[in-house]
Amino acid sequence: WAPGGRSDVVIADMKGMKTIIPVVFIFFVIWDGKPAGAFQVGSKHPLVVKSGARVMCLHRTWTCSLGDAVERQKMLVNKKLKYERSKIAKLGEPSIVQTSLLDLGHNERVNNKGDGDGRKGNRNSNGLGEKQEIRSKLERFKSACKSSTISTQDLLSSFRGFLRASSDICSSDCDESWRVALEALQLLKDADRAGVVAYNMMLHFAALTAGRGCQPAFEHAINLMTRMVEENIEPDLISFNSMMNVCAKSASMMSQEEAFANAYSVLDMMRDARIAPNTITFTSMMEMCARSTGARGGRGGWSRGWQKGMEILVLMREHDLNPSILTYIQMVKICLTSAKMKRAGNWSESAVRNGCKVLELVREDGLELNEDFYNHFFSLCAKAAEAGYEAAVVVAEDLFRDRNVSLTWSTTTWNSLLNVYAKSGRLAAARGLVRGEMLRQRVTPDLVTWNTLMCAMAKEAQAGRSSGMQGGLEILEDMRRAGVKPDVLTYNALMRACTAPVLSRSSDSVFDQGSIVLDMMRADGLSPDVVTYTTILDACIKSSSTQEEDGLSQALNVVEAMQAVGLNPNIITCNCLLTACSKAAEHRGLAMVDMGVELMQAMELRGIAPNLVSYNSLIAACSKAVASCVPGERPADCIAKGLQLIQMMRRKGLKPNVISYTSLVAAGANGVKVGDLSLLKHGSVILELMEKDGVQADSVTFNSIIDMYCMAAAAGLDGDWVRLSWRVIELMKRSNVEPDGVSCAIFMDVIFKSLTCMQGDGRGRRLRRKIQNIFRSIDEDGDGEISVDELRSAFLRRAPFQEKQAVSSPTKAPSSRSSWALPRSEVSEKDLVRFFRWADMDANGRIDYQEFEKMLVGSANPRSFGILPQSGTPEALKEARQYISIGIGVLQDMFSSDVQLNVVTCNALLDSIALAAELAPVEGGDAFRLCLLDANRVLELMRSHGVVPNCRSFSALLKICTTSAGSADGEKALKRSYRVMQEMRRAGVEPDTVAYNIFLEGFARAPCTAGGGIVEAIKVLNEMIAANVRPDSVTFLAIIKAAKQEGTSEAVSLAASLFAKIPADCQNIKTYSVMMRAMIQVGRREEVLDLLEQAATSGMRPDTHMMAIATQAASSSSRLKARLRAFRTWFRREKKDERELQV
C-alpha cells in the first residue's frame, strides 16, 4: 500500500502470524500537497507494553528538508539491514559490568577529579606531545594483549584506562583520539578478547568524546554498532543505553529535531532487538532534552524541550517504568537551562513554575529528594532570581522549610541555597543563613560560602542599597576570624562591590577604589588575575556619564596597568574596551569606531580572535555616532560604516545575528531624530538584508522601526506614521514574532505624537509656509494670482507634484515631497474648469492666496494635498478618530494575545483621545460623545484584563469633558466631570493637583448657564483644600479664567479678593496677565497698573504681553498714560542696573 501513490514503503501486516518476522523499517510519509522542499515526517512505533494484544503508539513530527530526511533514513535503513542479516540467536557473554554506563561515567568523573589536574600537569603542553604519549600507551597495551598471562578482566581494565587517556586528547584532535581507540579495539579482537564488554566500553568512550565537543561522535557510535553486529556480537541493554548516552551528550551540537530523530532511532533498534528500555534509557533521553534546550533554545526551544521531556515521562509510564530521582533531576536541568536565558522575558518565571511541577511529581511518586536534586533546584531558583524573577526566592525558601530533616546536607547544598539569596541581592537573608541556620546545623562555612556571601554584598552594592567597601571589609574580617583565607575569587567579588557604578561618582573614583582592593590582594600574597582588572575596566566604563568623561581614557590606563604586571588581556577585556569605544562614539563620532577597528586588529596580532560580541559593540557604536553631530559626519556615513563591519564579520567567518542588524535599524531611527529624512526607508532595507542572510528579526528589531516612525511624527515630518506603524505590527505577526508590551507602548506614542503634530501644524506657521510653497510653484508669472492656464500647466507637468504611489512595503516611508496630483487620464478639461470655478470664490477669474488657502484647508481630504487637516475642523476630528480606532484595535489584540501591558501604555491612548477632542470643532456637539465613547472602550478593556486605572487615566476623561465644556454640550460635559470625580473616589483613586486643575478648567470654559463661573470653581477649590491637595499656580489661573469668562463685576471682585490671598510661589506672569485682562473687562483700569507695579516689585519681569495689557488699560486716560511712562522709565533703569551688576 502506498499513501497517495507517492511512496514505495511496504507495510507488512503481522497480525495472526505465528512465525516472528523481523520488521526491517517502517516509514510513513504524510503528503498534503506541500512543495517538495519541506514536508512533515510522522512515525508510529509499536511499543508492546504487556502483551501482543495491547499496542501503544508514539507519534512524533518534525520539519526538515527533503534531501536531509531521505539521506538520514537511508543511512539508518542500511545500518539496520546489516544488523538484521548478521543477527544470530545465541546467549550473550556474561558481562562484568553490573552498572549502567551512565552511572559508571558519573562515578569515573567523581573519582578522577583528584588526579585530573595531575594528568594535565604531566602531559606535554602541545598536541604533539599528547599524541606521542598516547602512542606509547598503545604500544604498552599491544604488549599486554600479546601476553597470555594477563586475564581477560585485567586486560579489559587496561583497555578502559587507555580509553580514558585517549579521551583527554579529544578536545584537540577528535579524529586522532577515535583512531587510536579503534586500533586498541582491533588489538583486543586479534587477541580474541573483544566481546560485548569491550564494545560497550567503546560506546561509552564515544559518549565521553561527545561530551567534550566531538561532533561526529554519534556517527562513530553507529558505525561501531554496525561493526559489532557484523562480528556476531549481540548488543545488550548496556550497549543501547550507551548509544542513548551518546545521543544525549551530542545534543548540544545539533538541533532539537536531529537530536530527537537520533534518540528515537536508538529506540527502534532496541525494539527490533527485542530489548526493552529501562529507566536509565529514558533518563538519558531526558538529559538529551536538557542539552538540546540550551543549544537551540533562543526562540521557544526551552518550551519545546519541556514539552518533549513531558512526552518522555508519559512514554516511561506506558512502558510500566517509574521515573527515578535522576530522571527528575534531568527535568529540573531543562528548567534550569531556560532560566539562564535572561533575555527571554517571562521565561524565567515559567521555568520556576515547571520546576515546581517536577517537585510535585517527585512527591506523588513517593521518591526521596537527594542532595543532587536540591542543588539543581536551588540553582534554578538562583538563575531565575538573577534574571529578575523575585518569587524564585520564595520558592527556594518553601523547599528549604519542607526539606527532609533526616537528610544531612553537605556544605555544597547550603552554598546552593545561599547562592539564591546572593543572586537576588538579599544580603541580610544571606547573612542570616550563614550566621543562623548553618551554625545551628553545625555546618562550617567554607571558602565557597564566604565567596558567595561576598557576591551577595556586590549585588547589594550594585543596586545602590549599601556601601560595598564597608560591607566587603566586614565579610573579610568574618572570614579571617573563621580561619578561612580569602582567594582571588573573594577579592574579585569585593572588587565588584567596591567599584559599583551606582555608588561611584566618576571613573576616577572607581579607579582609586579598585587600586585599594589591589593593594589588599597583594598584602594577602595574592596576585590579581585578568578578571580582577576586567572588573575595574568594566566599572570605569559604566561609571562615566558625561561628554567630558566617557571612561575611555581610564579604561586604557587599566589595560596598561594590567600589562605592566605581566597579564595579557582576554576576549572579555577587549570587548570591554570596545564597549568603551561604543560609549565614547556618542560624543566623538566615527573616530571611536575607527579606534575600535584598530583595537580588533591588535587583538588578532595577540592571538585573540574577535567574536560576535566584539563586532556588535562596534556596530552599536555606529548607531550612537549618528547622534554625535560631529562636523563633517552624516548619519548615512555611520550606517555605511556599520554595513562595512557586517562585511568584515562575514570575511572572518562570523555570521551577523539579530543584534547586529537591530543596531543598524536603531541607527536609522537616530538619524531620523536628527532630521535626516533619507533614512526613513532604512528599516525596510535592513529587513531585506536580514531575510537574505537568513536572520530572523525579533521584536526589538521591529520595535526599532516603529520607534523610527515615532521620531518622525515627533519631528512633524510628513507621513501617515500611524498606519505605517500598524503595518509593522501586522508584519510582525506574519513573521511569527509576537508584538510585546514595548511594541504597544511605542505605537501608542506614535498616535499621540501624530495628533500633537496635527494640532500644532493646523494652527501654526508651518501649515501656512507649506501652502505658500505650493502656491508659488503654481504661480508661474509671480503676480500673486493663479489663472486657469497656470493651474492646467501644473497638472500637466506634474511639478511640484508627483503621481501618488502606493506604499508597497509595510515599512516603506512615504516620499518626503508631498503628492496629490491625479493621473492624467482622470483629469479632463471639464473637471479642471469646474475645480477652478469652485476655488474662485469671488468669481474674478483668478485665484489669490486667501482663496487658495481656504480651498486647501477646507477640502474634504486635505492630507491628499500634502498637508494635515486644520485643527478645529470636522476633517481633523475624523482623521484623529481613525487613529484612535486603530489604537483600540491594537490594544485589544495585545490583550487577547496575553501581552502584559501596564497602565502607562493605556494612558497614552487615553491622552490621545483627549487630544482628539481638542482637534474637534468648538461648535460641534458630536465630538464629546464620540471621544467619550472611545475612552470608555479603553477603560473597559483595562478593567477586563486586570489593568487598574490610575489618576492619570481619569484625568484623561476629565480632559475630554473640559474640552467640550465650551461647546453646545457644556452642561453635559460638566455633569460628566462630576461623575468622573466620583468614579475616581469609588475606585480608591484620590484626585491629585493635576486632576483638580483639569476639573477647574471646565468651569473657566463653560458659560454660567451651563454651570460654569467662579462660584462653582471656588467650591471645587475648597473641596481640594479639604482633601489636603495643595493648589498651584495653574489652579488659581483656572479660577481667574472662570471669573473672566463670567465677565461680571461681582465675579471679578471675587477673583481679586482671591488673588490677594494667593501664595507668592503660585503667582507668576500668567496669573497677573489674566487678572489684568479681567480688570479691563469690567473697567477697573487703575487697578491694572497697580497689578503691573506689584508684579515688578515682587521680582517678576513683565513681558511684552503684560505691557500690552497695561497699555490698553492706560489708553483712555492721560493720567494713566503718564503713570505708565514713569513705570517704563523705572523699569528700563532697573534692567540697566541689573545688567551692570551681572557684568
Is the confidence at residue 573, as pLDDT, over 50? yes
Give pLDDT, residue 814: 41
Residue of 1040, 1080, 1042 lying closest to 1060 (CA atoms): 1040
461-470 in b/e form (b: 16+ CB < 10 A) is bbeeebbbbe
Average pLDDT of the segment spanning 994-1000: 92
Summarised one tens digit per residue, pLDDT across range 274-300 is 889 999 999 998 888 888 776 543 334
Find the mean pLDDT for residues 1048-1055.
Answer: 91
The residue among 149 and 1046 whose pLDDT is bigger is: 1046
pLDDT cut 70: percent of the chain above it? 77
Q: Which three cell numbers stand for residue 463?
A: 543596586
Q: Let me know: does 474 contact 497? Beta carbons within 8 Å.
A: no
Instruction: Return the bridge partners of 402, or none.
Output: none
1014-1043: average pLDDT: 92
- pLDDT at position 86 over 60: no
Which pLDDT does position 994 carry in this prediction? Answer: 93
What does pTM read for this prediction?
A: 0.63
Which stretch of 476-480, 801-805, 863-867 has the lowest confidence by average pLDDT?
A: 801-805
The span from the CA of 457 to the CA of 431, in Å, is 10
Across the chain, mean pLDDT equals: 77
How buried is 1061 (Cβ within 10 angstroms: 0-12 exposed, 13-18 middle, 19+ buried)? exposed
Q: Is the pLDDT of residue 117 over 60?
A: no
**Contact criterion met (CB below 8 Å) for 371 and 409:** yes
Residue 75: the pLDDT is 52
Does residue 940 carry a pLDDT above 90?
yes
What does 337-380 look like in DSSP terms, one character per residue?
HHHT-TTSTTHHHHHHHHHHHHHHHHHHTTPPP-HHHHHHHHHH
Contact partners, residue 570, CB within 8 Å, separation at least 6: 530, 534, 608
Q: Quote the pLDDT of residue 918.
A: 85
The whole-angstrom separation of Cα 925 and Cα 1007 is: 15
Range with the poorest average pLDDT among 39-43, 360-364, 497-501, 847-851: 39-43
**Which of 13, 8, 43 lies closest to 26, judged by CA?**
43
Model confidence band, residue 111 (pLDDT cutoffs 50, 70, 90): very low
Is the pLDDT at 587 greater than 70, yes or no?
A: yes
Q: How confident is the model at residue 1032 (pLDDT cuts 50, 70, 90)?
A: very high
Residue 912's pLDDT band (boundaries 50, 70, 90)?
A: very high
If you search the block for the grid coordinates 551692570, which residue do you land on?
Answer: 1140
Task: Kindly indicate the confidence band of residue 1028, based on its pLDDT and cuts at 50, 70 and 90.
Answer: very high
At position 1126, the amino acid (one-letter code) is: A
Q: What are phi and psi of 41, to 5 degrees?
A: -105, 125
pLDDT in tens, 363-378: 998 898 998 999 999 9
Mean of pLDDT values over 719-738: 87
- The residue type of 410 is S
pLDDT reading at 34 higher than 70: no
d(CA 1016, CA 1032): 18
Confidence of residue 144 (pLDDT cuts 50, 70, 90): confident
Q: Is the Cα torsion angle 35, 40, 41, 45 positive or negative in sign?
A: negative
Q: Which of the listed ranges 261-270, 498-507, 1066-1075 does the model predict with the highest average pLDDT?
A: 1066-1075
Confidence category of residue 84, pLDDT binned at 50, 70, 90:
very low
Kindly report, residue by residue over 953-983, the tens digit of the pLDDT: 999 999 998 888 877 778 888 889 999 999 9
Question: pLDDT category, 502, cuts 50, 70, 90?
Answer: low
The mean pLDDT value for 855-862 works out to: 55
The amino acid present at 1068, given as its one-letter code, is N
**What is the pLDDT at residue 928?**
83
pLDDT on residue 760:
61
Beta strands of 1097-1137 (E only): which ranges? none
Name the more confident of 191 and 298.
191
In this prediction, residues 645-659 reach a mean pLDDT of 88
Lowest mean pLDDT among 131-140, 309-318, 708-717, 855-864: 855-864
Q: Determine the pLDDT at residue 1010.
A: 82
Q: Over 70: is that where the pLDDT of 345 sits? A: no
Alpha carbons 291 and 330: distance in angstroms, whole number: 10
Asked whether 29 and 9 are in contact (CB, 8 A), the reply is yes
Report phi then psi at 171, rounded to 5. -65, -30
Q: Is residue 580 predicted with pLDDT exceeding 70? A: yes
Confidence grade of residue 453 (pLDDT, cut at 50, 70, 90): confident
- Rounded CA separation 1135/860 (Å): 52
Q: Which of 471-485, 611-625, 817-831, 1111-1125 has the lowest mean pLDDT?
A: 817-831
**Residue 331: CA count within 13 A, CB half-sphere:** 26
Burial of 391: CB neighbours in 10 Å, binned 0-12, 13-18, 19+: middle
Q: How confident is the model at residue 336 (pLDDT cuts 50, 70, 90)?
A: confident
Give 870-904 pLDDT, tens digit per residue: 666 777 788 888 999 999 999 999 998 888 888 99
Whole-number pLDDT of residue 120 = 37
Least confident of 45-49, 470-474, 539-543, 743-747: 45-49
pLDDT grade for 80, boundaries at 50, 70 and 90: very low
Distance from the Cα of residue 330 to its chain's centroid: 28
Residue 52: predicted pLDDT: 29
Q: The C-alpha cell of 179 is what?
A: 583512531
